[in-house]
Structure 1
Amino acid sequence: MARDRKEERTGFQESAPYHADYDLQTDFVMVYGIDESMQERIQKWKEKGYIVHLMTGVAWGTYNNYLDGEIDGETHWDEAQTDRQGNMILHGDKPVIPYMVPTISFGHYIAERIRLAVDAGVEAIHLEEPEFWVNGGYSEAFKREWRLYYKEHWIPPHASPDAQFRASKLKSYLYTRVLDRLCAEMKDYALKRYGRVLRFYVPTHSLINYTQWRIVSPQSQLLELPSIDGYIAQIWTGTSRTPNVYEGKRKERTFETAYLEYGVMQELVRGTDRRMWFLHDPIEDNPNYTWADYRQNYLKTVVASLLHPGVAHYEVSPWPRRILQGTYPSEDGSGKEQIPSDYATTLLQVMHTLGNMDQDVVETAEEPLQVGVFIADSAMFQRMKPDPNAPHAGKYDGTDPEGFQEDGDTEMLDFSPFYGLTLPLLKHGISVRPLQLDNVRRYPGYLASYRVLILSYEFIKPEYPDIHYALAQWVQDGGALIYVGDDSDPYHNIRAWWNPDRKEGQSDPAYNSPRAHLFEQLGLKDKREGINKVGKGIVCWLNEHPADFTLSKAGADRLRQSVKETLETLHGPELQWKSKPYFKIRRGPYLIVSVLDESVSEERVIIPGPMVDLFDSELSVLSQVALKPGEQALLYDIKAGRPTDGKISVIAASSRIEGLSESATGFRFVAKGPANMKATARLYCKVRPLSAQYVVQERTVPVVWEWNPDSKTVLLQYEHGDENKAEVSVRWTS
């Protein structure tokens, strides 16, 4: 498991100074925030052997010196994002921290702060969460930007669907502009002054979550900026537990939502040279859950991410200090407690395992069918009901779900048009991939690996008409396209390319929806719903709103049946629908499994062993694993991973293992991790040990060990010392 830290496979972010108690021993660390302590914090982490990056907010932060006019003599409070009632949209109120309209002057201010980090010697910079809330767009700064961009007077976003859509497009453009200028300027500065090629990344929620929470962000537009080197997919329990509706029931579906979220972020960079790290968080921003709840949902997100093998780099935790030193409600409600020791050990095992997920062998069990469901940046642009008299719901950030359900528009939050097209398939074990519609025109071969696509323009809109030319060609060449939509979305009437001369109140547009233009390219201008042959391919039109498929089991069945019939018509038995109640993938020696609830079976799924349970703090060797609906597993296949030369090798550990060496009398290694934490390691070991010990702070301590003769493995239990290091030695001869 030893590797060069320069590979940057795993990392974490932390705003606090270095401390041995939360030194996770990943490859890199993102020092968070630019303040007077930044340079010292960077230096301390460097001294501990880390590759050091910097992360800071690009939409919010402690920018009061800029807002108050201390920087340039002009106050900038009119650049705070503002809602319809004239209230600032805040990230924090003590002190007041508003979300910002990213103006040119704000970009200059951020650039000067970033320059300090470049001077401090960081190798990469992460500009976090370029976010503009849908319920914003009313500040004086935004009105000025509207006039410059659209060359017309500002229109209140709530006035019409067209006004809302245009406001959101402008919000996305403004963050694209500031990131492009900022990153290009700082890359030029770093290369000229220090001869250093600086990298820039954007940590961002998934397109699915931003749309569901009603936030606008550039997302795929950043792919067109050469100054952006990649992303961190900020997906965690807090985003993925957001409720949605399936078969008429609204509830949290953390695994399924996370599966789709990680999927869309994998697809965002597929076929590009951009780096993607998947994030996990063992807790979340809402501090009111128990450790048991955090653990259950964390494991769901980890497994969901590992089912997407196109990504093998991970941010293993934001804020490890709040995990390893924080306190959260106890199960019995008697108070708060720190992290249970066994959960802390499990977390470290998982974190270090994630650094070994770049495997040559990837096998997906029993999944001949992979369905692409389109989503686009434009989904974020139409997330407000087009009714100027409707209550204007506030922002939702996942920290107060009960309060939002009382005061907000819960139905709007559900994002049912998207989940209506994905959950009916996902719940039956069909591999669903949310595809970036905008990438169809960016990359000629983007659709080549897909044979079945689902599209609806009832919640997204195509940015350009040439997307339809590519889709039509893909169908002509033998693809199966299922279009879902009844042209009822009010946003079909916005000013757009399919309505080239459209004005408010005007009738008879060029096309009554972008669907009409697509069908014209497919030769289906006068066709109605049902199945139609197009060249070597097929188009199935379901003339109803995609949200209808969430309302009942009958609705979900209608979608599933349409996919089955479309496949049978085009491919016969060659590409069959095979429902199953689980997902399973092998990545090298690792087996990742999730068993679905609300699926086709309530039976347990049995995995034959011998397997090491990597979610077990004692790394148990199991002869078989039985998983119930709703359970997940991360397993190590002992037979598949056994070294052919019989030498000592690490199966899993809750430490960073370095210097593993074998001799005639035994083996030894150095284990690094958070101070004084209970640690475990399981290794292949061809003979039974006689003794084991470890050295910390010049003290020799016996290792608790357990030999498993059937698997020829040994479990070692020890502790990291105050200096984050234990030297472990095992003897098998005297």
Structure 2
Amino acid sequence: MRNLKYYTSISALAISLIVQSDVLAQVKSKQKTSFQVSAPWSADYDVRSDIAMVYGINDDGGKFEERVKGYRDKGYEVQFMTGIAWGQYKDYFLGEWDGKNHLDEGQMMRNGETIWHGKNVPYIVPTANFLTYMKSHVKRAIDAGVTAIYLEEPEFWARAGYSQTFKDEWQKYYGFPWMAQHESPEATYLSSKLKYQLYFNALKEVFTYVKTYSESKGKRVKCFVPTHSLINYSSWQIVSPEASLANLEGMDGYIAQVWTGTSREPVFYNGLEKERVFENAFLEYGSMVSMTAPTGRKIYFLTDPIEDRARSWDDYKVNYQATFTAELLYPMVDNYEVMPWPNRIYRGRFPVEGMKERQPISPAYATQMQVMVNSLNQMPLSKNKLNGSHGIGVLLANSMMFQRFPTHEGYDDPQLSNFYGMAIPLLKQGIPVETVHMENLANKNTLKDIKVLIMSYANMKPLSADFHQELAKWVKGGGVLLYYGRDNDPFQNVKEWWNTNGNSFKAPSQHLFGLLGITENANSSAYEVGQGKVYLVRKDPKELIMKENGDKDFMAMLKQAYENDAKAGDLILKNNFVLERGPFVISAVLDESQSQSPLTLNGIFIDLFDPTLPILNTKTIQPGAQAYLFDVNKVENKNKPQVLAAAARVTDEILTKKSYQFVAKSPAKTNNMMRILLSAKPTKITAGTGGKELPLSKSDWDEKSKTLLLGFENFSEGVKVNISW
């Protein structure tokens, strides 16, 4: 389009703009799916997503430019990912970069030990010198032609904060000497607040450099932060900038790093602590949506078919299905990182129950996984809503990370139960509860669809009085607020805005209640406030889930608030979630719910969790399980031959009146299985690669669905398929 200025006629200009618009649309469509990889390209894990995020300048033996070229030559858009808190930065830490040893910049615990991410690779306190080093990495990546920079996992461990480097940063930030975080709740709070700020500043500085340098070269390189959810970081006792980044200039979006490893963290419900992977994943993805949706920033959802911790392949598969289902239940997101480290998945060996030696991925699981990840290339955005009662939110704040470690007398929050106490009871009864980030309250989109908001200051504190102004305005305009909290934890007394500079509130909630016209000695009551209502319950949310049936009164109050006060309709309680996105049907049935009945769906379905891709007329889903289906009846153009599901990426389609031709690409040494919609039973089918015809492992026609089940060996360079009828 550089010749656009030479057009003189209006019609030519209009045509050029249409072409330009179409080109932009094509570029956008090519940025739908991605994977991260440090290893050079290999046919064995040629995933065929749109984007290859090549990891680390020094990773996998270096040769960064060669790795970038290798993926670009195979047709990938190439981007760059590296850690901001850790990475293969031994040249920096051991003095090769500037002649100085920097191991003293690692995050240090109270016992004087550094927290390591690997040999000679500590988690870093992000000093000015380290950020200069990081700029040299992103510069090299931009020079190599990448289109985006991902600085992942800005993590500062809550148990760290004892190094001289951190003490120096404390003095610069606060203007008074360092305080050991174990000595008081206030020191804990201030320590975490500084850790949070250090990584906010670090990302701001490096992203500013990325934008400035790339634009100087005539490019617009985007900036993303792959990060765990606020829920997970709080649970794992890690501090990170999280929601504040969504409004950072130069920040283009996030990757929501949610997978089995984060979601299997045990949580309490009904007095029982155990893994609840689907429920946890649903809340984690939701917190990432609430963090970004009001700001319009882009977000990719990540899942991982395995995880860092060694478990069995069967365990990985069950929990992969749970997290995969959870991510698809958010119809407003259609960008995905389909997997990290594909070489680990395809070449790794993990336990198999009943076998002594570790085994590679099974052909069946590889096929199923490839069907799932390739379906994401077709996954549409949808305005459909998850079935159930909408408009119920739980308030979160970044400060939830500030109270996690160490534990002080008078405060205990096992497994983050002061958060989960407000969310898990709702989720278990089939309510699609949302999370609301306090940092986004000033954005008009944040509360516009929330009818009932549940909050507590037992596990977090407001970092600004302005948040209370927004909450008060929302309640007075008709919102219903449920406040749970005893407000007697020691963090209520840290030196913050509610008890300094002329304020003398004993707890931040008193300031909020004052704006709402509620007296300071209010206790377990309901208050009319403008057009809205406030319920005040002097219980900490953890009390709702850490004992059996602890949520009974809570659920009754929620029903009253939702139906009678918010007038939002009936509060629907059930044990399932179902969502349709185009032809895809996604469902989860909850255990520990008000019903133990299975859910039965009827239609003409392809079961996408089954590597044999069977056609089903009914699908029954038991409590604790999920389903992923393709509804053949929902295909937009049933008269057009098309691949409906495949363990390969389909390209180069050619259609005539009597034939259908395409190319299927997927990692080598795996098995393809595909369902193809046709207008008639085929009379001839051929599949070949490199001039060689391949045998078909499966070729079955289903007359009712008008689909062909076709199977053959996958090849990275592609298999050309010809079907005639």
Q: Under a length normalisation based on structure 1, what TM-score does the superposition of the two structures give?
A: 0.92
How far residue 360 of structure 1 moved from its aligned partner, in angstroms, is 4.3
Which SS does the other structure have where 2:550 is aligned?
helix
How far residue 728 of structure 1 moved from its aligned partner, in angstroms, is 0.6
For residues 165 and 453 of structure 2, what CA distance do their matches in structure 1 show? 41
**Partner of residue 3, structure 2:** none
Which SS does the other structure have where 2:113 is aligned?
coil
**Partner of residue 687, structure 1:** 680
Q: Does 1:380 align with 2:380?
A: no
Counterpart residue identity of residue 690, structure 1: T
Q: Does 1:65 align with 2:59?
A: no
Partners of 1:642 and 1:684 within 8 A in 2 = no
**Partner of residue 22, structure 2:** none
**Partner of residue 362, structure 1:** 384
Q: Does 1:205 align with 2:228?
A: yes
Deviations 1:95-144 (A, max 9, x none): 22110000111100111122111111111111111100000010011000
Which SS does the other structure have where 2:294 is aligned?
coil
**Partner of residue 405, structure 1:** none
Bigger RCO of structures 1 and 2 (CA < 8 A, at least 6 apart): 1
Identity %: 40
Which SS does the other structure have where 2:504 is aligned?
coil
Q: Does 1:472 align with 2:472?
A: yes
**Partner of residue 533, structure 2:** 538
Q: Cα gap change, 1:29/1:530 in structure 2, threshold over 3 Å: closer, same or farther?
A: same
For residues 484 and 132 of structure 1, what CA distance do their matches in structure 2 show? 29
Q: Does 1:282 align with 2:298?
A: no
Q: Map 1:621-660 onto structure 2 (within 5 A).
A: 621-644=615-638, 646-660=639-653
**Partner of residue 394, structure 1:** none
**Partner of residue 241, structure 2:** 218
576, 579, 587: which one pairs with 1:585?
Answer: 579
Q: Map 1:255-266 onto structure 2 (within 5 A).
A: 255-266=278-289
How far residue 710 of structure 1 moved from its aligned partner, in angstroms, is 0.7
For residues 373 and 571 of structure 1, what CA distance do their matches in structure 2 show? 16
Q: Cα gap change, 1:5/1:31 in structure 2, threshold over 3 Å: closer, same or farther?
A: farther
Deviations 1:413-461 (A, max 9, x none): 51110111111110000111111111102x1331011101001011111
How far residue 702 of structure 1 moved from its aligned partner, in angstroms, is 3.9
Q: Cα gap change, 1:291/1:564 in structure 2, threshold over 3 Å: closer, same or farther?
A: same
Which SS does the other structure have where 2:663 is aligned?
strand
Q: Does 1:252 align with 2:278?
A: no
Q: Cα gap change, 1:81/1:575 in structure 2, threshold over 3 Å: closer, same or farther?
A: same
**Partner of residue 548, structure 1:** 543
Partners of 1:370 and 1:430 within 8 A in 2 = no
How far residue 159 of structure 1 moved from its aligned partner, in angstroms, is 1.2
For residues 70 and 320 of structure 1, what CA distance do their matches in structure 2 show? 31
Deviations 1:160-219 (A, max 9, x none): 111111111111111111111111112211221x21111111110000000000000011
Counterpart residue identity of residue 242, structure 1: E
**Partner of residue 38, structure 1:** 64
Q: Does 1:700 align with 2:686?
A: no
Partners of 2:331 and 2:581 within 8 A in 1 = yes
**Partner of residue 145, structure 1:** 169
How far residue 589 of structure 1 moved from its aligned partner, in angstroms, is 1.2
Deviations 1:72-93 (A, max 9, x none): 333322211000111001112x
**Partner of residue 319, structure 1:** 341
Q: Cα gap change, 1:214/1:370 in structure 2, threshold over 3 Å: closer, same or farther?
A: same
For residues 475 and 177 of structure 1, what CA distance do their matches in structure 2 show? 34
140, 157, 170: which one pairs with 2:194?
Answer: 170
Which SS does the other structure have where 2:433 is aligned?
strand
Q: Does 1:13 align with 2:36?
A: yes
**Partner of residue 126, structure 2:** 102
513, 516, 522: which one pairs with 1:522?
Answer: 516
Q: CA-atom RMSD, angstroms?
A: 1.8
Deviations 1:525-547 (A, max 9, x none): 25331221111111111111111
Counterpart residue identity of residue 469, structure 1: Q
Which SS does the other structure have where 2:499 is aligned?
coil
Counterpart residue identity of residue 339, structure 1: I
Partners of 2:247 and 2:295 within 8 A in 1 = no
For residues 278 and 590 of structure 1, what CA distance do their matches in structure 2 show? 17
Partners of 2:451 and 2:562 within 8 A in 1 = no
Which SS does the other structure have where 1:415 is aligned?
helix
Structure 2 gap ranges (5+) = 1-24
Counterpart residue identity of residue 355, structure 1: N
Counterpart residue identity of residue 184, structure 2: S
For residues 664 and 356 of structure 2, what CA distance do their matches in structure 1 show? 36
For residues 292 and 4 of structure 1, what CA distance do their matches in structure 2 show? 38
**Partner of residue 597, structure 1:** 591
For residues 363 and 624 of structure 1, what CA distance do their matches in structure 2 show? 22
For residues 565 and 360 of structure 1, what CA distance do their matches in structure 2 show? 31
Partners of 1:134 and 1:214 within 8 A in 2 = yes
For residues 461 and 383 of structure 2, what CA distance do their matches in structure 1 show? 38
Counterpart residue identity of residue 68, structure 2: I
Deviations 1:396-417 (A, max 9, x none): xxxxxxxxxxxxx9x7551110
Partners of 2:386 and 2:432 within 8 A in 1 = no
Q: Under a length normalisation based on structure 2, what TM-score does the superposition of the two structures give?
A: 0.93
Partners of 2:472 and 2:516 within 8 A in 1 = yes
Structure 1 gap ranges (5+) = 391-408, 503-508
How far residue 4 of structure 1 moved from its aligned partner, in angstroms, is 6.0
Count of residue pairs brought into register by the alignment: 696
Q: Does 1:338 align with 2:372?
A: no
